[in-house]
Each structure stands twice: as C-alpha cells, then as structure tokens.
Chain A
C-alpha cells in the first residue's frame, strides 16, 4: 500500500550523512514530501525526520538499507497512532475588506494566528498535524495564497519510548 509515512533517523552528524541518506531515498524511488534535520540533546548526533510517499513493503527493505549506512544509528517509522507529530507553517494570504472575515474565520478554526500584516496581505502562522496543515492550505487557497513555507513534520514516539533507547553511542 502506498501512503505517506513519517520516518525518524538518528544519525551521527558527520559530513555527508544527509547526502547519503537523501541519495538513498531517491535511488530507491521514494518521494520525499518533507525533510527536516536538527541537533539532538546528544552532542554530535542529529535527528532527520522525513515524510515520504511510499510502498509499505519497499519501506522495510529500505530501512534495512538505511541501517547499513555507517552514520545512521537508528531508523524508525513513527506511525500517527503512536507518535506526537507536528508541523509549522507560515502562509501569506491576499486579504481585502470583503473576504477579511471569511479568511479570519477559516484561519482561526485551525488555530492560526496573524504574525504579520501587509497592505494587501496577512501572514498566518499555524501548527498541527501535517494533514491539518494540508487542510488549512486548501481552505485558504480560494482567497489567493501569495507564499507559504512549511517546516516539515517532526515526530517523537508517544509515552516513555525513545528512539535512542538501547543505543550504544560512542
């Protein structure tokens, strides 16, 4: 089954690790929907979070390939049902006196707040599940989206489980 899934990778922050990871994605035919990388609480180690569109079966094969990479210490799928997931968006919408209220209503139903106002535009910031962000974008589309930028999904296992559990960090 082909669907969007979120993968977390715990990697050693060595030159070229991001290049190796992404080139493996493209070589195996996975479409990267979003990608974000940032430092973790452990020095020298980063976390890469990727939202991909792919086939379930290929995915497990692909995780094995990923684990072969020297700098990749752990790879896990973060399913929606057992993870905390969020994404941030800035979206700049054309705003005029007629639609003003409609836009603000639509935005507020996604808990989006205005972070900037131009003469003919308003920039909203919102966070939520990637699917909720997708919905917000479609809701605001009819009004005219001037620009938008998304951080990409980030995710952690819910509860006490951590990706770094049981890892031997050298």
Chain B
C-alpha cells in the first residue's frame, strides 16, 4: 500500500512492537506528528517539557522494560537537545532509537532555519546514525536502526529524516522483524581453560556489571556463582543483576564501594569480570587493580577485552550463552574459608547507624525508610551526585530492571525524565526518584510531565542546599575552597511542586523521616518530598581517583 513517509515511520514502529514514544513536536516533524495523531490509538506519545527530558525518558523506559526507547524531536535545537540523552545512553549501552526531523532535502546545507548537522554532531555518541535522503530507503533504515540498537552491545541509534521525505508517498510492505542471534565467538578450549582456573582458585571473586542486566543473565549468573561458591561484587551499573539478599552478594565495588569489596578485590587470586568494563570508577589504578589475581573477562564486546585492564582469558559472547556453557564445565566448589575471611572484613566498619539529628535527616535513614515502603519489584531512579552514591551503597536491589541511574556519563538532570520513562513503561510498579537539589534544579521542568500524565512517582529531594559531590572533592583535594558549590538558593521545593499542581511535604530532621515518607508514598499520586540534609554528610568510604583500596578514605570532616 502507498503511505507517506510519516506513516511509514509509524508503521515501522509498530513492526518493532513499539507502543510508547517520547518527544516534542516542531516544524520539521509536523508530518510525523500528523501521522502520530492518526495512530494515537496504537502508539502512546508522552509530551515532555524539553527534548532532553524526552531522551532521558526513552532511556529510563529502555532500562526498566528491556524494550528499545524511542524519542522523537524536531530539527535544529530540538535535535541538539537530544545530545546529552544520547551520550548518556551511549555510555551505558542502552537500546534507544532517536528520530529527528531535518529541513527538506533541497534546504540542506544552506544554513536553513532550524537546520543542524545532527548526524555529524552525534557521530561519536551514537552506535550508528543515518540520514534518509531517499524515501525508498526509509523503512529499511528504520528496521536497521532498531536492529543495531538492540543487538550485540546495545546503544542509541539516530535516524535523521528531512521534512520532504516525510511527505512523499511510497509503497510500504509490512515486514516481520528478523531476529539476530548473538553469536559466541569463543572456542571450547577457552571455556576449559577458564573452568580449570576456577577449579584451582582459592580466593575467587565475581565483578559484575551492567552487561548482566542488558543480556538478562541474572538466572545464569546465580547458578554459576552458587556452583563455584564465589562471592559477587557489582559495579554501580550492575545492581539488581544479582539479588542483594543472596548470601554471596557483597555490594558495590569501586570508588565508593564498601571496605570489604575493596579488600576482596585486592586479595582475590581470581577475578571474573562479567558484563563489566573496568571503568576508572572501579579500577582506579589500571595497573594495580587485582594485581594478585588471574583476570578473566566475559563480555559481548571484543573491543573491551584488554582495553583498560589486561585479562588472562576472555569469553566473547552473550552472557546467557557463555555463563551457562561455563557453568556446565565447572565443578561444584566450596570456598567457605575465603568467604569467612571476607565476613571478617565486613565486621570491621560495621557500626550501627544512629539517626537522631534534630537539624537534619540522615541520607541512609531516608533510603532505609523508602526501602521499607517499596517492594522488590518497585523501581528506584536517581540523579547524579552524593545521593546517587548513597543509594547505590544502601538500597538493596533484589531484581533486575529496578535500578535506573546514569553511571557512565554521570548526567545531572537525568532523574526526572528517566523516572517518567520508567513509570510509563511500568504502570503497575511504583517508582521512587532520589535526587539532589543540584541535579533537580537542572530538569525540574519535567514536573509538568509527571503531573500531566498523573504518574505516581515519589520524588525525594535529598536537599543539602549545596552541590555535594563536587564540594566533597573540594574538601579533599582543594583545601576547602568551595568554588561555586554553595549557591545559597532560595528555592522552596514544596512551594515549587505545589505550583506544578503536585502534592508536596518536607522532612526537617530524622524524627520525621518515616512518617512523612510513608504519608507521601501511600498517596499513590505524583508527590515531592523535600528532605533537609546536612551539607557536610560525606560519601564514604572513598578510594581517590587513580588509587587502590590501600588508599581508601574511611573518615572525613
């Protein structure tokens, strides 16, 4: 049948099973939005306040549902407003397709109104991108875009469509999507060598990352870890990929990981890096990381092997396949001596928390209170900063796809959009956004979206009235020269939320934490809770950049 380019786009989205898109209209995408109007019973469109919010929403949607997130924006400024969202998704390998309008083909490269070379701009922050110059290519380009975004190491793909292409009619034929198998390229002898190394190891450790979640390999990982009786540490991105309550789980490792995970890493004789990439937040000193251990790297991306840290063996492929194959070859093991040693390290800094401040509420107190209100299926989203690290340290994630944070790019302002995407994709789960006063100020405009679609997200502002993480670094490395981190802002977040038509309350100190949060959560409506925190609460422990656990800071002013 003959359809316009815009209708072909809508049909191709339906081919992919897309039922939700996030975006913002504009001149170059008028035809696309006209098609969306006609398809509104099949495709739900969430209108945000800003294209950046829409891009983070598509990202949060993808992280919590496993389906590719779709964002639509107009040309010029609309497209450039997607840049941060695309880079965020790129750094964390999140499947996303961005469709941007551009000026008509006859107006291209004439510095036309709202024209920008978005494919040139997003070249290094997309897995791939396209500009459609011929209507005949449109459908296949979209199909290819989804395939690239969702296969191998996933990532964002951008498709730029000039306005005239969206108006031309062309023959469209519905095509079922081809599924591509992720092929494991490692040979049998490599599996056997690794199984042998595991057999010989006395102090093994699993360092897992976001890859476990992207390949949905939690079940395989649990079976594997249990069979070889191996303790599991996670990067910030891997949380939820292995149940926190499991006896083998140790928590996060890296810059703000617990003392015991740092010691485990330093003393392990075998480190299995599973779906992780030795980022500088984990392997501060690339030479010294796990220097006493044989390192084995399992990843879907060949280019990650030996990129940051040298590994002795590697398995390249989808974790679901490589983990199950490896588990078959491994024998049952008992590493209880080693696990006992680790428990002793756990005890060293394990002091019972005291939450009795009359001036402030403690961060961990707030996080624990939220934990009591949520179930293991509910979703936690954060922005970036001290609050993000506190949540990663304290909140116990039981299930995959319940944790949504910008790990790789560390995008402040990510939270609101991501929470909107997560809630839209999971209407039957509760979503709690932990944010900071700094991060929240960046994209609080999206409160309007939360309210318009009546998304019952609980926004918890960990308000210490300063830019906490940067200020903490200024304490440690810049002689307390608090340059631009103490803005003395007058914003009343409660009044602000009310102005958006959103219920809001305040937690003034530790005594109010449980009652106020419970009240807010049980409203089951969009709500904002402004929590007053001390500006001098620090994220500890901390391994300074480029260092190892031997330099771990456990106390600070």
| Interface presence of A70 (CB below 8 A) | yes
A70 in contact with B303 (CB, 8 Å): no
B303 in contact with A65 (CB, 8 Å): yes
Chain B minimum-CB-distance residue to A24: B124
Report B-chain residues with C-beta under 8 Å of the C-beta of A65: 303
- Docked complex: A56-74 residues within 8 A CB-CB of B: 61, 64-65, 67-68, 70
Question: If the complex has contacts A70-B128, A70-B148, are A61 and B123 also in contact, measured as CB distance less than 8 A?
Answer: no
Distance in Å: Cβ of A167 to nearest Cβ of chain B: 16
Q: How far is the CA of A15 from the CA of B131 in the complex (A)?
A: 9
Query: SS class of chain A's interface: helix, strand, loop or mixed?
Result: helix
B303 in contact with A19 (CB, 8 Å): no
Query: SS class of chain B's interface: helix, strand, loop or mixed?
Result: mixed
Report B-chain residues with C-beta under 8 Å of the C-beta of A61: 303, 306-307
A64 in contact with B128 (CB, 8 Å): no
Report A-chain residues with C-beta under 8 Å of the C-beta of B124: 23, 27
| Interface presence of B301 (CB below 8 A) | yes
Q: How far is the CA of A19 from the CA of B131 in the complex (A)?
A: 14
Q: How far is the CA of A64 from the CA of B314 in the complex (A)?
A: 14
Report A-chain residues with C-beta under 8 Å of the C-beta of B128: 70
Report A-chain residues with C-beta under 8 Å of the C-beta of B479: none
B301 in contact with A68 (CB, 8 Å): yes
How many interface residues does chain A have, given as a range? Answer: 10 to 19
| Interface presence of B445 (CB below 8 A) | no
Distance in Å: Cβ of B420 to nearest Cβ of chain A: 31
| Interface presence of A159 (CB below 8 A) | no
B123 in contact with A67 (CB, 8 Å): no
Q: How far is the CA of A20 from the CA of B126 in the complex (A)?
A: 11
Q: How far is the CA of A70 from the CA of B130 in the complex (A)?
A: 11
Report A-chain residues with C-beta under 8 Å of the C-beta of B306: 61
- Docked complex: B87-135 residues within 8 A CB-CB of A: 119-120, 123-124, 127-129, 131, 133
Report B-chain residues with C-beta under 8 Å of the C-beta of A15: 119, 131, 133
The 12 listed contacts between A and B (C-beta, < 8 Å) are A15-B133, A16-B120, A16-B123, A19-B120, A19-B123, A20-B123, A23-B124, A64-B307, A65-B303, A68-B301, A68-B303, A70-B148
Given A16-B123, A67-B302, 20 new contacts (CB under 8 A)? A15-B119, A15-B131, A15-B133, A16-B119, A16-B120, A16-B129, A19-B120, A19-B123, A20-B123, A23-B123, A23-B124, A27-B124, A61-B303, A61-B306, A64-B303, A64-B305, A65-B303, A68-B153, A68-B301, A70-B127
Chain A residues within 8 Å of B, Cβ to Cβ? 15-16, 19-20, 23, 27, 61, 64-65, 67-68, 70
